[in-house]
Chain A
Amino acid sequence: MNEFVAPPIDWAAVSPVLIVLAAGVLGVLLEAFVPARARRGTQLTLTLGAIVGSLVAVGLLWDRVQEGAVAVVGGSYLLTPFGLGVQAVIGVCALLGVLVVAERTTTGQDAFAPAAAAVPGTAYEDETRRAGLQQTEIYPLLLFSTGGMLLFPATDDLIVMFVALEVLSLPLYVLCATARRRRLLSQEAAFKYFVLGAFASALFIFGIALVYGFAGTVRLQGVVQVLADPSVSPLGTMPALVVLGLLLVLSGLLFKIGAAPFHAWTPDVYQGAPTPITGFMAACTKAAAMGALVRVLFTLSNGLDPATRHDVEVALWAVAILTMLVGTVVGAVQTDVKRLLAYSAIAHAGFLLVGVVGPDGAGAQAVLFYLLAYGLASIGAFAVVTLVRERTVSGDESADRSPTGPVPDDGVVLGEATRLAQWAGLGRRAPWLTAAFSLFLLSMAGIPLTAGFVAKFGVFSAAVEAGAWPLALLGVLASAVSVFFYVRVIVLMVLTPPPARDPGTASTGSGPAAGAAPTGGGTAGGGGTATVTGEATRTLVSRTVVTVVGSRGPAAFAIAVCAVGVLLLGVLPAGALDLVGQAAQFRP
């Protein structure tokens, strides 16, 4: 009688998520049992293998899901073609993102702190540095996060969606705090992300509570049924509950995609997090959250009566417009590459929203393609940022080097040169890197013959088709403004001569953070952004020049794949559009 009957589970359908999560668990165990020497290699192999395996599973499921959505445990896991498409995008982006994470460059260091728990500026930190420790827990964390992302758009159950949200977010909070350099900034970013993320989670779960109060269920399909027949649920006659709940749930999701007015965390977190993680986050989180948003929005708005649906649409219009405005206008005045890309991410969230404001799923195809195009450009762009570094100029060898000598990080190459002014003349030093970065920026700007154009064409078409042409018009104007700041960077890299080419005469080189040229004493304290530890801040010379470190393979490979992808999707998008078209048959 009370015997527990295990529900029949379609393991194959769950496999894309399970493979990644299982590999994450395995990765944690590996941390304990594999010797330190072999840890990085093992973890990396496992991570890449798991993501590839997940992608293969997605591929194998593709045809099956085309015939009809697969519901596991009554819809707790619901694999629609669209959900599978989002999983494919997440998988591709995560694979490339992990490659960038794995990059150690010719300096032999990855982007992560040797021991993230060490308090910045302490002797312990120096110790870990000297010991050459590595924080290989990065990889299992990435896998957990990816697993959450894969689950996020593939469920019909709001509680499962909430769990997925937390599974994807918590590792990200940690990852954000693990930067090797500018650690205070990194930890501040993580804290900010965590606090605001918790706030968004609270909104999300409060929204779920209201929806549950209305419908007596947290299954989206169930809610739609109650909307159709209010007598089923005791509070079924109070649709205001579900509207408020829907808006709160959407707020939580909009926070994740970085839409205004929930965007405040984006620039700080993008700037503070280790750059490979920023790229991963920008591409994959956005895809996952957008997938979930499309799922919730299109399912629920199906059941709402036209007037209420209109109200929700108005709210989305407002968010989309505000997001595009904030992203482009504020982005245009940024002076830091990572912040600029962060505002660009906000603007892109706005363009994505333009694709979903329509009353039906016409925009789903466009959104999916957009996520892929943006993901490739975004990971590629952040990967380029990881390779452009600052290097100390040892003008006065004996005086400058001795205090920082014991710190292995010192010597030549420091952190990333993210101030825009430092990128001047990069084209002469690294023409291929510059070309790739320019391509990514042009794609983000939506210039034809890049993936970004086809993507923007798609979302704006969807909006116009849905009658939201004023939104599309605003979108294209925002695009025009955004082109201004993308092109500004390209001009800086390609057309502007570098401030000082010869390290020997680098006194005019890129100066302290404030941008003011160092006037005399080499120990002007402004070099804080470039320094490693608090102690070093006081002793390190602020004079640095910009250098491009060589990739040891993975990042260069990722950049190349992203560049080829962006071009291919721009010039010959027919194949990808067909696939996306199949995936956009969204309704179960």
Chain B
Amino acid sequence: MTMSTGFPWLTVLIVWPLVAAAATALTGVGRGRPAAGAVTGAGRFGAGAARTVALVGALVEVVLLAGAFAAFDTGDAGTHQLTQTASWIPALGASYAVGVDGVGLLMVALSVGLVPLVILAAWREQGGDHVRLRRYLATVLLLEAFMVTVFVARDVFLFYVVFEAMLIPAYFLIGGFGQGPQRRYAAVKFLLFSLAGGLVMLVGVIALYLQVPAADRGPQTFLTDNLTGLTLDPTAEKLMFAAFFLAFAIKAPMFPVHSWLPDVTQHATAGTSTLLICVLDKVGTFGMLTLCLPLFPGASRWAAPFVIVLAVISILYGAILAIGQSDVLRLIGYTSVSHFGFIILGIFTFTSLGTAGSGLMMLNHGISTGALFLVAGFAIARHPRQSQLIADYGGLRTVAPVLGGTFLVAGLSAAALPGLATFVSEIMVFLGSYARWPAAVLVAVPAVVLAAVYVLLTYQRMFTGPVVPDLAGARDLDGREKTVAGVLVAALLVLGLAPGPVLDYVRAPGEVAVEQVGETDPPPEVEPAAASAGPDGTAPSTTRVTTEGSLL
């Protein structure tokens, strides 16, 4: 029994990266391994050609994504579209069910959009060893297929399977292609944290399945829609919520289960970190939004105060620790802890503005942090010892002005400078949260200042001042690197200055999420307090934010 509406865009988006990964893995096999350091492969179709195959594959995926966007009706972004359901394991009640709402589509876009940039950024990585590079790129494409699947899964079992299975390619990306002798330790830490969370979630998944009355269990029990709106025993619901939430909090990562993240960002390549932090970890917050809230509305309301406290701690803790870091990739890792705190805060305020802001922030954080990672990666590649220590840099702006400029833009976006993408979403989260949790917002707001501190301090130490001798001969970005940085900076500016079109994708899902959790937006009398920053209190809140963003 296959049900689908129209062309199966999402299935194609899942399958194509697999094809591209296979093609990449097989390109130039048997051609031998060119000497390390040689930039071009032995032959025209030697191992060196694999990166071209990978890039073309990733770009075709982008074209396919455009098709999916064209087929998506933004007027109805709150419901799942492009759906397709097929029987998979009827005995377990699991089906292959895909479909996206607005937020899901943005997440797919983020995954699909970042992959070609990561491939391009990795063009010269792995020490010129083309066989390694080929494996790296094939793994990246394999991971892309999993990432797309997890964001479009409409079946809890399918979601779980992919959620866990994607750990394996991610693990190899960290442990196999990272930097430094500690990378295997980082990979194992990542794997153990994720698996522990994931397996606890498995118990939750099983328990949830068993909440369905035995008579109603059929071959499609695991469809998210079928599991939504069950009458659950409050204690069981809380336990199941906790099982799911733990997995997502580890993934997200959220204080106090974030400690794997800095190690991973320090030891993985910049490209891996980009995929891992900017896309993979979004599965955590995405799961909270699309699984925790609708499946366990009562427990979500019950847990909201605790979650919000933890989110606020994450926000401040991540920002403060980021300031103290001496390793630039570690620093970016801690900034993400802070930003994920914002996303979780927005989700658990249960206001359509906050939830929509979180949806948007998932996209924006992905772009701005991705830009930070990749540009920092470019800077590290210029250092003769590939040092990641901030202290080893200085005056890089003088020799590589474009590099410095893009780093500054990406950093300022992370610090939510008005006019750049993150600002819009962050202000939405703040306004949405203030309506219900004013104290949390007041405590969290200083993080914005801290963000400015860690970004500007890092910029000052690495890019200004006298040029350190090691970097005196550093080149500026070449065409390839400019393309990567340019695309990301352009995206930050477009989303910052004209967020209107993107907001159409997140607004309706935000409202749906609030409705599913059984809350209503707070009464308007609270609004003026939040709206005091905005010029007119009468316009719908999202429009107001839009105006604000573009004005500033």
Instruction: Flag if A465 contacts B210 (CB, 8 Å).
Output: yes
| Contact with A460, one of B88, B176, B202 (Cβ below 8 angstroms) | B202
For B165, list chain A residues within 8 Å (CB): 447-449
Asked whether A173 is an interface residue with its Cβ less than 8 Å from the other chain, the reply is no
Report the separation of the CA atoms of residues A574 and B93 in the bound assembly, to the nearest whole angstrom: 10
The answer, among B92, B168, B199, for a CB contact under 8 Å with A577, is B92
Give the residue of A447, A473, A491 whose beta carbon is less than 8 angstroms from that of B203. A473
Known A-B contacts A447-B168, A495-B172; the reply to A460 vs B92 at CB < 8 A is no
Chain B 154-185, CB-CB to A under 8 Å as 1, else 0, gives 00000011101101100110011000000010
Per-residue CB contact flags for chain A residues 566-588 toward chain B (1 = under 8 Å, else 0) read: 00000011100110010000000
Residues of the A chain whose Cβ atoms lie less than 8 Å from the Cβ of B200:
473, 476-477
Instruction: Give the docked Cα–Cα distance between A484 and B164 (Å).
Output: 14
Q: Report the Cα distance A129→B200, complex, angstroms.
A: 55
Selected contact of A472 from candidates B176, B195, B203, CB within 8 Å: B203
A305 to chain B, nearest CB (A): 26
- Quick check: A477 and B196 within 8 Å, CB to CB? yes
Q: Establish whether residues A578 and B91, one from each chain, have CB atoms under 8 Å apart when the complex forms.
A: yes
CB-based contact B195/A573 at 8 Å: no
Contact B203 A464, beta carbon cutoff 8 Å: yes
With a cutoff of 8 Å between Cβ atoms, the chain B residues found around residue A460 in the complex are 202-203, 206
Give the contacts of A453-491 with B (CB-CB under 8 A): 453-454, 457-458, 460-461, 464-465, 469, 472-473, 476-477, 479-480, 483-484, 487-488, 491
Partner of B192, one of A447, A458, A484, A577: A484
Specify which chain A residues have a CB less than 8 angstroms from the CB of B161 in the assembled complex: 448-449, 453
Partner of A574, one of B89, B160, B188: B89
Is A442 on the interface with B (CB-CB < 8 A)? yes
Task: Say if the beta carbon of B471 comes within 8 Å of chain A.
Answer: no
Chain A residues positioned under 8 Å from B399 (CB to CB): none
CB pair A491 B175 closer than 8 Å: yes
B210 partner residues in chain A, CB cutoff 8 A: 461, 464-465
Provide the A243-268 mask, 1 if CB < 8 A to any CB of B, else 0. Answer: 00000000000000000000000000
Q: Smallest distance from the beta carbon of A336 to chain B beta carbons, Å?
A: 20
Shortest distance in angstroms between B180's beta carbon and chain A's nearest beta carbon? 14
Q: Are A574 and B191 in contact (CB-based, < 8 A)? A: no
Minimum CB–CB distance from A513 to chain B (whole Å) comes to 25
Docked pose: A577 CA to B87 CA in angstroms: 14
Q: Is the CB of B199 within 8 A of A479?
A: yes
Q: Which of B91, B92, B196, B207 contacts A480 (CB 8 A)?
A: B196
The interface residues of chain B lying within 8 Å CB-to-CB of A454 are 89, 92
Residue of B nearest to A476 (CB): B199
Q: Which residues of B contact A465 (CB under 8 A)?
A: 206, 210
Q: Using Cβ atoms and an 8 Å threshold, which residues of chain B touch A464?
A: 203, 206-207, 210
Instruction: Give Cα A105–Cα B50 distance, bound, in whole angstroms.
Output: 35
Chain B residues lying within 8 Å of A379, measured Cβ to Cβ, are none
Q: Which residues does chain A contribute within 8 Å of B518, judged by CB atoms? A: none
Any A CB within 8 A of the CB of B437? no
Contact call B191/A487, Cβ cutoff below 8 A: yes
A413 at the interface (CB under 8 A from B): no
| Main SS at interface, chain B | helix
Across the interface, do B88 and A574 meet the contact criterion of CB distance under 8 Å? yes
Cβ proximity bits B264-275 to A, threshold 8 Å, 1 near / 0 not? 000000000000
**Cα distance A469–B160 in the bound complex, in angstroms:** 19
* B168/A494 in contact, CB under 8 A: no
**Which one of A454, A495, A572 has the highest number of Cβ atoms from chain B below 10 Å of its Cβ?**
A495
In the bound complex, residues from chain B placing their C-beta under 8 Å from that of A473 are 200, 203
| Inter-subunit contact A480/B168 (CB<8 Å) | no
Interface centre among B87, B187, B196 (most CB of A within 10 A): B196
What CA separation (Å) do A448 and B160 show in the bound complex? 8
Report Cα–Cα, A19/B199, bound state, in Å.
44
Pair B209/A581 contact, Cβ less than 8 Å: no
Report chain B residues within 8 Å CB of A479.
Answer: 195, 199
- Given the complex of chains A and B, what is the CA–CA distance between A494 and B92 in angstroms? 34
Task: Kindly state whether residue B90 has any CB partner on chain A within 8 Å.
Answer: yes
User: Which of A449, A461, A480 has a CB less than 8 Å from the CB of B199?
Assistant: A480
Q: Which residues of B contact A495 (CB under 8 A)?
A: 172, 175-176, 184
Asked if A477 and B199 make an inter-chain contact with CB atoms under 8 angstroms apart, the answer reads yes
Kindly report which residue of chain A lies nearest to residue B195, judged by CB atoms: A480
> CA–CA, A574 to B206, complex, Å?
18
Interface size class of A (residues with CB under 8 A): 20 to 34
Docked complex Cα distance between A458 and B94 (Å): 13
- Tell me the smallest distance from the CB of B192 to a CB of chain A, in Å: 6
8 A Cβ contacts from B48-103 to A: 87-92
The smallest C-beta distance from B264 to any residue of chain A, in angstroms, reads 15
Shortest C-beta distance, A457 to chain B (Å), equals: 7
Among B88, B89, B90, which residue has the most Cβ atoms of chain A within 10 A?
B89
Known: A448-B161, A460-B203, A480-B196. A577 touches B89 (CB 8 A): yes
A487 engages B171 (CB within 8 Å): yes
List the A residue with the shortest CB-CB distance to B208: A464
Partner of A483, one of B87, B191, B202: B191
Smallest distance from the beta carbon of A81 to chain B beta carbons, Å?
16
A494 touches B172 (CB 8 A): yes
For A442, what are the chain B residues with a Cβ–Cβ distance below 8 Å? 168
Q: Do B92 and A448 touch across chains, with their CB atoms under 8 A apart?
A: no
User: Which of A457, A572, A573 meets B202, CB within 8 Å?
Assistant: A457
Q: Give the Cβ gap from B120 to chain A, nearest Cβ, in Å.
A: 25
Q: Judging by beta carbons under 8 Å apart, are B196 and A461 in contact? A: no
Determine whether the beta carbon of B202 is less than 8 Å from that of A476.
yes
Name the residue on B nearest A456 (C-beta). Answer: B202
In the assembled complex, the CB of A484 is this many whole angstroms from the nearest CB of chain B, namely 6
Roughly how many angstroms separate A574 CA and B168 CA in the complex, as a whole number? Answer: 24
**A448-B165, A494-B172, A578-B91 in contact; A457/B196 too (CB < 8 A)?**
no
**CB-defined contacts of B172 to chain A, threshold 8 Å:** 494-495
Cα-based distance from A495 to B161 in the complex (angstroms):
25
A370 to chain B: closest CB distance in Å? Answer: 14
Chain B neighbourhood of A457, CB < 8 A = 92, 202, 206
Chain B residues with Cβ below 8 Å from A494 are 172, 176
B92 and A476 form a contact (CB under 8 A)? no
- Cα distance, A449 to B160, chains bound together (Å): 11
Closest B residue, CB atoms, query A482: B195
Could you say which of B91, B187, B188, B200 has the most chain A C-beta atoms within 10 Å of its C-beta? B91
Of the candidates B87, B176, B207, the one whose C-beta lies within 8 Å of that of A469 is: B207
CA distance A494 to B139 in the complex (A): 13
- Complex: how many Å from CA A491 to CA B191? 12
A573 to B93, CA, bound (A): 12
Instruction: Give the residues in chain B near A574, CB-CB below 8 Å.
Output: 87-91
CA distance A108 to B160 in the complex (A): 47
**In whole angstroms, what is the CA distance A464 to B206 when docked?**
7
B91 — nearest CB in chain A belongs to which residue?
A577
| A491, B192: Cβ atoms closer than 8 Å | no
**Bound form: Cα–Cα A578–B90 in Å:** 9
Among A464, A572, A573, which residue has the most Cβ atoms of chain B within 10 A?
A464
> Complex formed: what's the CA distance from A442 to B171 in Å?
13
Contact with B along A483-511 (1 / 0, CB 8 A): 11001100100110000000000000000
Interface string of A20-34 (1 = CB under 8 A from B): 000000000000000
Give the shortest distance, in Å, between B242 (CB) and chain A (any CB).
11
The answer to whether B164 touches A448, judged by C-beta atoms less than 8 angstroms apart, is yes
Most chain B C-beta atoms within 10 Å of own C-beta, residue among A477, A479, A491: A491
The complex places the Cα of A472 from the Cα of B160 at a distance, in Å, of 17
A451 to chain B, nearest CB (A): 12
The 6 closest A-B pairs by CB, nearest first: A476-B199, A577-B91, A448-B161, A448-B165, A480-B195, A448-B164
Q: Would you give 18 A-B contacts (Cβ < 8 Å), ordered by A?
A: A447-B165, A447-B167, A447-B168, A453-B164, A460-B203, A465-B206, A469-B207, A472-B206, A480-B192, A480-B196, A483-B195, A487-B188, A491-B184, A491-B187, A494-B176, A572-B88, A573-B92, A581-B91
Known interface pairs A448-B162, A457-B202, A479-B195; 15 further A-B residue pairs with C-beta atoms within 8 A, sorted by A's residue number: A449-B161, A453-B164, A457-B206, A465-B210, A473-B203, A477-B200, A480-B192, A480-B196, A483-B195, A484-B188, A488-B188, A494-B172, A495-B175, A572-B89, A578-B91
